[in-house]
Chain A
Amino acid sequence: MDQRDQKDPWLSHQPRPPVIPTPRGPVPVPPTFPPRRQLSLTVNGRKVSVAEGTTLLEALRGIGIDTPTLCYLETLTPVNVCRICVVEVEGSRTLVPACSRKVEEGMVVKTDTERVRLSRRLVVEFLASSVDVSTSPQIQAYMNRYGARPQRFGPASPPAGHRDAARAGYHEATDGSRAATVGQPVKKDNELYYRDYGKCILCYKCVEACGTDAQNTFAIAVAGHGFEARISTEHAIPLPESACVYCGNCIGVCPTGALMFASEYEMRQSGTWDESRQTQTDTICPYCGVGCTTTLHVQDGKIVKVTSPLDKDVTRGHLCVKGRFGWQFVQIRDPGSERR
């Protein structure tokens, strides 16, 4: 029996000193970071100074230049695929995407030249002529802002049913009289949400949210090639057979309404969806101890969908299946009547 046992606090009634484990070998010193260098750049003739590591988009937003984005979201890794945020940088042969390009010392940036406006307008026209943008107020606003006329490419072609089986490097012959679209039947294979890929602009956000940027479930990926590229599960199997856990984070990041709550989709179909009659209330999810903020969208005294604000540190806009979809119990006023 050693000394310590004899000094048992229960026996001696002495407070026991806290045990602080000491690592073997040299004690690691927390790394010190040098202060971030300030870089100067010129934006539209105006000198600006930003910290090293800032992207062009952050720098532009910092000085109040509204730069359009579609595939960019603060909580996701920039993929720079929509190319609507392009700006002109002196010395660069092509335009550069503001969302992912880091500021370099002495950069000279122009954001409102004819060249920039043309590319942005064409990007919006390309999207609006190939995708149903009716539920994307963002794209419609950009269409107005840049004077987009997607009808220049001709009337839209009717929806095709075979996009999931498209062969890479092959397309059906066209006579050019109709503009090809990604139109296709809506996918409804579960009770919680609809997938209307005729509205998909392939911004990769849902894939990122399903993957390493949030959920790490990897149920969906971009499959196929070229214009026939699409968001798909393996072999386009229905979601209930896939890895999907119904966290709904893909719906949370979708900019076009291609992924939509079943509740919202069905109300829109029946013509009862009316955002002007809706209120939004922030609350804390009641299920577990993590404490995610949820925003309840309420219309006519009923919750119609649940989102989560991006700027809350707990989960930065991401939820799980319970927080996202598990709110029906709130509506049950008399539990007994439901049970019958």
Chain B
Amino acid sequence: MDIHLAKIEPALEEREAVNSVLGAPESGWSGGERRIDLEGHCAFGGHRSQAQRHLLLPVLHAIQSRLGWITPGALNYTCQRLDLPPAEAYAVASFYGLFSLTPRPRRVLHICDDIACMTRGAEELCGRVEQRLGPPSTDTLDGKATWYRSPCLGLCERAPAALISFAGERPCEGVFAPADPNRIIAALQAEGRDAARESPDRFDVKASVPQAGQPGLTLLKRAGRIDAESIDDYRAQGGFETLRRAFSLGRSWVVREVSASGLVGRGGAAFPTGKKWDPANRPVYLVCNADESEPGTFKDRVVMEADPFSVIEAMTIAGYATGCERGYLYLRGEYPLAGERLAHAVTMARQRGFLGDDILGQGVRFDVEIRRGAGAYICGEETALFNSIEGYRGEPRNKPPFPTQFGLFGKPTVVNNVETLINVLLIVEKGGERFATMGTSGSTGPKLFSVSGHVARPGVYEVPFGATLRQLIELAGGVSGSGRLQAVLLGGAAGTFVSPGELDTPLTFEGTRAIGAVLGSGAVVLFDDTVDLRKVLLRIAAFFRDESCGQCVPCRVGTVRQEELLQRLARGRPIGSTEEELNLLKEIAQAMRDASICGLGQTASSAVESALRRWRLFPPGA
């Protein structure tokens, strides 16, 4: 490709950052030493460079974590290496929230002010941080640091949450939850870069999985019982035995049992896994969707942090059963610990022959590559996720064609959520029919719920399908805060509100549908009666405005108009009357639901509408 590069010589640091992913350049045509004897008159690279476009996102991560921002020199050099037009590389880099395209201090603090953290003092935390560091998005601590308000960081069980990242030669990241302003500012100031990594809040299984160690758990049975960084520990607890069993019973047995189990996707859409695994589709890639970004959802993070090997084992079984030889795990960018532990798990599994060209000497070939997102909620949408892995902007594709026909790199692809995959371990162990006896006839198996907000013991809970919302809340110690429940948000920002009168609803797909709600990803956020639900709705509306990818008109502008309209209502300054505004809101919602490309726009008004159906938050004439 005849690309037009800027005449910028990359600095050594920029070159090193890019080369850390792509390796040293092969020839003068891609930024290396020019060798006249070899390449006097012919160009190398070309298609081979362009075929590496899928490495664009990892390269951008390397630049960001080394230099603190995506410098023009580094981006230009990346384009030279990948034979990529600079405008396209810029377009991709500017799509992601974690990247900065303008100079930015190397220390960045993100404080979550989303719905779950709101109930646990996020506003107060932001206020106190602002007192010490100045307003968000401005340089502070003598230009060494900056801070931002952030959408949900997926640490809701230990709210309020903060994430600190240090860029540099030894980049590091760490989380603080529950975050104390003094501690996070001290960590931001610390010269030893490991202050963030050594945060005592890194991992606390008791806080994340209150049920840890209890008998009768299936998906969470190893949480807290094993060292998540030891493959020997995992094997001592029966790890990789399921993989052996799958091999001994054969591919078609596994697929048949998964179909018979009635397992449906746990990411939110509840699509039957057996249908996705249909061998007639001849899938090429297996993708594990670990881009868990739904506000109030953190179950996948906890699974990956507490039991990372089980995710790798489940992916291997899925790859074997569907005939895929290559697996990608797309991990949310804000999950540093899960990323570390999974990367370690993959390395160990490769060393011990559980991944590679000849798994367990059975001639099965499968390997996993971990790809890290960069702060875009939309990349949890499966086709946006494919585009993101391929090195394009994470914009969803129109469906059909569906991933089973046209997925990653244009090939048939199986894409499953983390929780869905670990259920497969259970199915292989027990058989599909026994799995189907758990739960209800319409929703089989166990389910993980992320319980947060005004609840005594927030965390991830495993219950069989069929338990009611009331039982789940009791399991989590009951309502905290004022003790008087006002509302529960099921399924996160794209979910629905339910009222205290609906607590006896069974938490199943059919049970929630019956009351006009959705189960979604299994997020359960509780709000006591001191919470102003209008503020929660405004936060959700702002969230969708920020996270809309901007591709299609109904979602790009609809989310903006929805937020503006709710702001007018909340301030009691409607255009015309409140009834007119509420009607307009309904029209906006219907257009977004009907005409948007993907699930983000289609559900962007779901929580707002469900709240307005249940409560008169904006009384007419007010």
- A-side residues, CB < 8 A to B, are 80-84, 86, 94-95, 97, 100-101, 115, 118-119, 122-123, 126-127, 129-130, 152-154, 165, 167-171, 174-180, 201-202, 216-229, 232-235, 237, 241-243
- Bound-state CA distance A171–B90 (Å) is 20
A223-B91 contact, Cβ under 8 Å, with A122-B591, A129-B557, A177-B573: yes
**Can you name 4 extra interface pairs (CB under 8 A) apart from A80-B552, A170-B148?**
A94-B596, A95-B594, A218-B85, A229-B549
A234-B86 contact, Cβ under 8 Å, with A100-B398, A168-B97, A176-B565: yes
Q: Which of B586-617 contact A (CB under 8 A)?
A: 587-588, 590-591, 593-597, 602
* Contact assessment for B557 and A119 in the assembled complex, using a CB-CB cutoff below 8 Å: no
What total of A-B pairs shows CB separation below 8 Å?
Answer: 205
* Contact assessment for A233 and B561 in the assembled complex, using a CB-CB cutoff below 8 Å: no
A228-B550 contact, Cβ under 8 Å, with A168-B94, A177-B568: yes
Shortest CB distance B3–A (Å): 7
* Nearest residue, chain A, Cβ from B5: A243
CB-defined contacts of A119 to chain B, threshold 8 Å: 554, 590-591, 594-595
A86-B95 contact, Cβ under 8 Å, with A175-B571, A232-B90: no
Q: Which of B547-579 contact A (CB under 8 A)?
A: 547-554, 556-561, 563-568, 571, 573, 575
- Bound-state CA distance A94–B567 (Å) is 28
- Bound-state CA distance A234–B545 (Å) is 24
* Contact assessment for B87 and A202 in the assembled complex, using a CB-CB cutoff below 8 Å: no
A167-B553 contact, Cβ under 8 Å, with A123-B591, A218-B87, A226-B548: no
Shortest CB distance B18–A (Å): 16
24 sample A-B contacts, Cβ–Cβ < 8 Å, listed by A number: A82-B553, A83-B597, A86-B595, A115-B594, A118-B591, A130-B557, A152-B575, A165-B102, A171-B545, A175-B567, A176-B565, A176-B573, A179-B564, A180-B560, A218-B85, A219-B4, A221-B88, A221-B91, A223-B90, A225-B94, A226-B559, A227-B545, A233-B87, A243-B85
CB-defined contacts of A228 to chain B, threshold 8 Å: 550
CB-defined contacts of A176 to chain B, threshold 8 Å: 563-568, 571, 573
* Contact assessment for B87 and A234 in the assembled complex, using a CB-CB cutoff below 8 Å: yes
* Nearest residue, chain A, Cβ from B588: A122
Shortest CB distance B150–A (Å): 9
- Bound-state CA distance A223–B557 (Å) is 17
CB-defined contacts of B99 to chain A, threshold 8 Å: 168
Q: Report which residue of A127, A153, A180, A233 has the largest number of chain B beta carbons within 10 angstroms of its beta carbon.
A: A153
A169-B573 contact, Cβ under 8 Å, with A82-B552, A176-B565, A225-B550: no
* Interface residue? B178 (CB, 8 A): no
State which of B72, B550, B558, B563 has its C-beta within 8 Å of the C-beta of A224. Answer: B550
* Interface residue? B349 (CB, 8 A): no
* Interface residue? B51 (CB, 8 A): no
- B-side residues, CB < 8 A to A, are 1, 3-4, 6, 72, 75, 85-91, 94-97, 99-102, 137, 148, 151, 375-376, 393, 398, 400, 542, 545-554, 556-561, 563-568, 571, 573, 575, 584, 587-588, 590-591, 593-597, 602
- Bound-state CA distance A129–B463 (Å) is 48
* Contact assessment for A129 and B97 in the assembled complex, using a CB-CB cutoff below 8 Å: no
* Contact assessment for A169 and B550 in the assembled complex, using a CB-CB cutoff below 8 Å: no
A227-B557 contact, Cβ under 8 Å, with A154-B564, A175-B571, A176-B563: yes
CB-defined contacts of B90 to chain A, threshold 8 Å: 221, 223, 232-235
CB-defined contacts of A235 to chain B, threshold 8 Å: 72, 75, 90, 101
* Contact assessment for B597 and A80 in the assembled complex, using a CB-CB cutoff below 8 Å: yes
State which of A83, A174, A225, A232 has its C-beta within 8 Å of the C-beta of B552. Answer: A83
* Contact assessment for B575 and A154 in the assembled complex, using a CB-CB cutoff below 8 Å: yes
- Bound-state CA distance A233–B5 (Å) is 12
* Contact assessment for B95 and A224 in the assembled complex, using a CB-CB cutoff below 8 Å: yes
* Contact assessment for B549 and A232 in the assembled complex, using a CB-CB cutoff below 8 Å: no
Shortest CB distance B113–A (Å): 12
CB-defined contacts of A115 to chain B, threshold 8 Å: 590, 594
* Nearest residue, chain A, Cβ from B70: A235
User: 10 nearest interchain CB pairs?
Assistant: A229-B550, A176-B567, A169-B97, A218-B85, A243-B4, A122-B591, A126-B557, A221-B91, A234-B86, A176-B568
A171-B546 contact, Cβ under 8 Å, with A81-B597, A95-B595, A224-B95: yes
* Contact assessment for A219 and B87 in the assembled complex, using a CB-CB cutoff below 8 Å: yes
- Bound-state CA distance A84–B401 (Å) is 21
* Nearest residue, chain B, Cβ from A96: B398
* Contact assessment for B87 and A130 in the assembled complex, using a CB-CB cutoff below 8 Å: no
* Contact assessment for B3 and A218 in the assembled complex, using a CB-CB cutoff below 8 Å: yes
CB-defined contacts of A177 to chain B, threshold 8 Å: 568, 573
A118-B593 contact, Cβ under 8 Å, with A169-B547, A176-B567, A180-B564: no
* Nearest residue, chain A, Cβ from B96: A168
Shortest CB distance B508–A (Å): 20
A83-B87 contact, Cβ under 8 Å, with A126-B557, A226-B547: no
CB-defined contacts of B398 to chain A, threshold 8 Å: 80, 97, 100-101
CB-defined contacts of A219 to chain B, threshold 8 Å: 4, 85, 87
* Nearest residue, chain B, Cβ from A182: B557
Q: Report which residue of A129, A169, A222 has the largest number of chain B beta carbons within 10 angstroms of its beta carbon.
A: A169
- Bound-state CA distance A313–B90 (Å) is 34
Q: Report which residue of B85, B86, B549 has the largest number of chain A beta carbons within 10 angstroms of its beta carbon.
A: B85
* Contact assessment for B94 and A224 in the assembled complex, using a CB-CB cutoff below 8 Å: yes
* Nearest residue, chain B, Cβ from A128: B557
CB-defined contacts of B573 to chain A, threshold 8 Å: 175-177
- Bound-state CA distance A216–B564 (Å) is 40
* Contact assessment for B584 and A126 in the assembled complex, using a CB-CB cutoff below 8 Å: no
State which of A83, A174, A225 has its C-beta within 8 Å of the C-beta of B553. Answer: A83
A118-B587 contact, Cβ under 8 Å, with A229-B550, A243-B87: yes
* Nearest residue, chain A, Cβ from B567: A176
- Bound-state CA distance A170–B596 (Å) is 21
* Nearest residue, chain A, Cβ from B149: A170
CB-defined contacts of A180 to chain B, threshold 8 Å: 560, 564
- Bound-state CA distance A152–B558 (Å) is 13
* Contact assessment for B549 and A153 in the assembled complex, using a CB-CB cutoff below 8 Å: no
* Contact assessment for B89 and A234 in the assembled complex, using a CB-CB cutoff below 8 Å: yes
- Bound-state CA distance A78–B596 (Å) is 16
CB-defined contacts of B545 to chain A, threshold 8 Å: 171, 226-227
State which of B3, B375, B584 has its C-beta within 8 Å of the C-beta of A169. Answer: B375
Shortest CB distance A129–B (Å): 7
* Contact assessment for B567 and A126 in the assembled complex, using a CB-CB cutoff below 8 Å: no
- Bound-state CA distance A234–B84 (Å) is 12
State which of B1, B561, B571, B591 has its C-beta within 8 Å of the C-beta of A153. Answer: B561
